Amino acid sequence: MAAPTKPTIPWKLRVTTSLLSLLLKASRRSNGTVNRRLFNLFDTQLPPNPNPIDGVTTSDVTVDATRNLWFRLFSPTTSASAATLPVVVFFHGGGFTFLSPATTRYDAFCRSLCRSINAVIVSVNYRLAPEHRYPSQNDDGFDVVKYLDENGATLGNVGKCFLAGDSSGGNTAHHVAIRVCKERLRFVRVIGLVSIEPFFGGQERVESEIRITQDPVVSLDASDWYWKAILPNGSDRDHEVVNVSGPNAVDISGLNYPKTLLVVAGFDPLKDWQRRYSEWLRKSGKDVEIIEYPKMIHGFHLFPYLPEVSQFLSHVNHFIVKQVAGS
């Protein structure tokens, strides 16, 4: 069967992503700063809710108030004890620059993930670029993992811990995984990484970036802006935070890097970078499993009315169950 030439997405999703693209473009100033007042007008957010909704309760936990580092905790109510459940530390997308765990769409996604895989979800509110550049996001992510190492026993089974993230959050999850491998933690043991359409790149323009131009959220111009927002001054896109498998990549061959589930969308301009990441993992001696949704666009997993989303959640659940059973 020939590969699809256009993404198969309903008009509702086309309208939503087009409006989001317009908002993001209007909020990204040409001088490299962000019009947060404008963006926040449209970034609808939800408070935590201790009352069960569809079998999930939520609460916000402060890690460091001085830098507004906190996480939203999603706990399923169907289990006898949350302390026996695996813990998934999740990093949201948004180009390192926008959104939070309280953003309505991410609150809903993590709630769905919690319910579908029967795990405790720790959704991290990390500092945003360009006000806070690399490695602020990675520092915040690792500090949440350290917090769980010191305080997480009452939240879930941190000995069966997963890292996960979508888009730029998938990038952060990768770098936090490396940090965890290099540090000695007492109780947290990361046994898997779920990388959902991760945001990687490099100085080179790969074929998918040039060919796939209809994605309204991760165009070349938008991607370049996000990289400039997070990179240290004077750095180019072959920096280790961008080109994770390129000339400046961290050598992970000697690390106990977790087995990775890599989710790829067929109409994601970043997919060639994601495939390079998987090849690099294998060359480094690490296990990686790839699941591709050929007809989908970047960020499809955030729209539950798409039939592929239930398949996606089933794949993630299968991966987590398998890793827990084998740990």
Cα separation, 166 vs 187, whole angstroms? 25
Closest CA to 216 of 292, 272, 299: 299
Please give the C-alpha separations between residue 198 and each of 32, 68, 70, 272, in angstroms, as whole numbers: 22, 24, 22, 11
Residue 298 annotated among the catalytic residues of the structure = yes
Cα separation, 255 vs 32, whole angstroms? 36
Q: Which DSSP helix (H) or strand (E) runs through 162? A: strand 157-166
Of 92, 175, 239, 298, the catalytic one is 298
Of 27, 123, 167, 278, the catalytic one is 167
Burial category of 282 from C-beta neighbours within 10 Å (exposed 0-12, middle 13-18, buried 19 and up): exposed
Q: Tell me which DSSP letter residue 28 carries.
A: B
Cα separation, 315 vs 263, whole angstroms? 10
Of 43, 149, 215, 268, the catalytic one is 268
Residue 251 annotated among the catalytic residues of the structure = no
Show the tokens assigned to 200: 């990687």
Q: Which residues are catalytic?
A: 167, 268, 298
